Amino acid sequence: MVRETILSPADLIWPLFVTEGEGIEEPIASLPGVSRWSVDAIVKRASEAIALGIPCIALFPNTQSDRRSYDGAEALNPDNLMCRAIRAVKAAHGDAIGVLTDVALDPYTSHGQDGLLGDDGYVLNDETVAMLVDQAMNQAEAGADIIAPSDMMDGRIGAIRRALEMAGHHNVQIMSYAAKYASAFYGPFRDAVGSGGLLKGDKKSYQMDPANGAEALREVAMDIAEGADSVMVKPGMPYLDVVAKVSDMFNIPVFAYQVSGEYAMIEAAAAAGAGDRDAMILESLTAFKRAGASGILTYHAAHAARLLNR
Ligand code: PBG
């Protein structure tokens, strides 16, 4: 009766990795317990999410290397892996499940960066934004419910919002990865989408410095002004102070992403006997809600929902 925070499956968003083929499940070594699934299997995972009370899945494609290029043009292909997965889930389940899609070029580029590279090797902001708008439109046409730009270019939220309105996609929402840090906790994700081995250098010219908190508030304010429906803080556990500040200061839903490295950390700790796995999972997810998050993206979503539904 005096508990302040209640965690429920309705708070969870389940990130899923998509791969080519049929009937495929490919375990990801650096994310024990997480697999890449072919499109047909993704539809089954969506059924599982619905049965568990999870309202939304987030899709990430593992684009085959022969479809990757310097400019990431595959992101704009209406029949790319991502769009086929979106269409299959929507055809099978309609509004019973939300589909959130990541906007950034890293699953499609041969260099693993989130945007187009200039001659100096740095990402070009404005040229990239133009391409991200087309990528977002491609996903919206395929049926995405929530467009989630994770690229951290300046001005992309406003540009995507205008394009969506002009094309009549009034009900497609934008969840901005507004406060996304240049973090050491993304390694297993990069393996999962196949960009890890390709990436040279880092993403520090566009992702935020982990030492900065006030900058996160400025980024959030800008993205809200540009038309974001909700914002995200990422990674999660090391940034609960940022989650708390954003949720205190802004009247907009705030989501936290418990990223791949955080998942791997909990799994490694549990495997080493350093703590009770289920208890660590539920405690970490409850802490996000206590900090003010409206919802949490977590690779533990299905397992946590099963625990919560017991
Ligand atoms: C790519 C993207 C990343 C994640 C989500 N979208 C990785 C990166 O920025 O390099 C990380 C998610 C995770 O680690 O679970 N734009």
**Which residue matches tokens 């790319």?**
80
- Cα–ligand 1 centroid distance for 243 (angstroms): 18
Q: What is the pLDDT of residue 242?
A: 98
- Cα–ligand 1 centroid distance for 197 (angstroms): 14
Q: Which atom of ligand 1 is found nearest the CA of 299?
A: 15
Q: Is 102 in the pocket of ligand 1 (CB under 6 A)?
A: yes
Q: What is the pLDDT of residue 197?
A: 86
- Cα–ligand 1 centroid distance for 107 (angstroms): 10
Q: What is the pLDDT of residue 74?
A: 97
CA angle centred on 88, ends 83 and 89, rounded to 5°: 100
Q: Is 259 in the pocket of ligand 1 (CB under 6 A)?
A: yes
Q: What is the pLDDT of residue 165?
A: 97
β-strand partners of 16: 59
> SS3 for 289?
helix
Q: Is 206 in the pocket of ligand 1 (CB under 6 A)?
A: no
Q: What is the pLDDT of residue 158?
A: 97
Chain segment 134-177, per-residue pLDDT in tens: 999 999 999 999 999 999 899 999 999 999 999 999 999 999 99
Cβ(122)–Cβ(99) below 8 Å: no
Distance CA 277, CA 304 (A): 11
The residues spanned by each domain of the chain are: 9-308
Chain segment 114-130, per-residue pLDDT in tens: 999 999 989 999 999 99
Q: Is 189 in the pocket of ligand 1 (CB under 6 A)?
A: yes
Q: What is the pLDDT of residue 90?
A: 98
- Ranges of residues in the chain with a pLDDT under 70 are none
Q: Which atom of ligand 1 is found nearest the CA of 15?
A: 15
The architecture of the domain spanning 9-308 is Alpha-Beta Barrel (3.20)
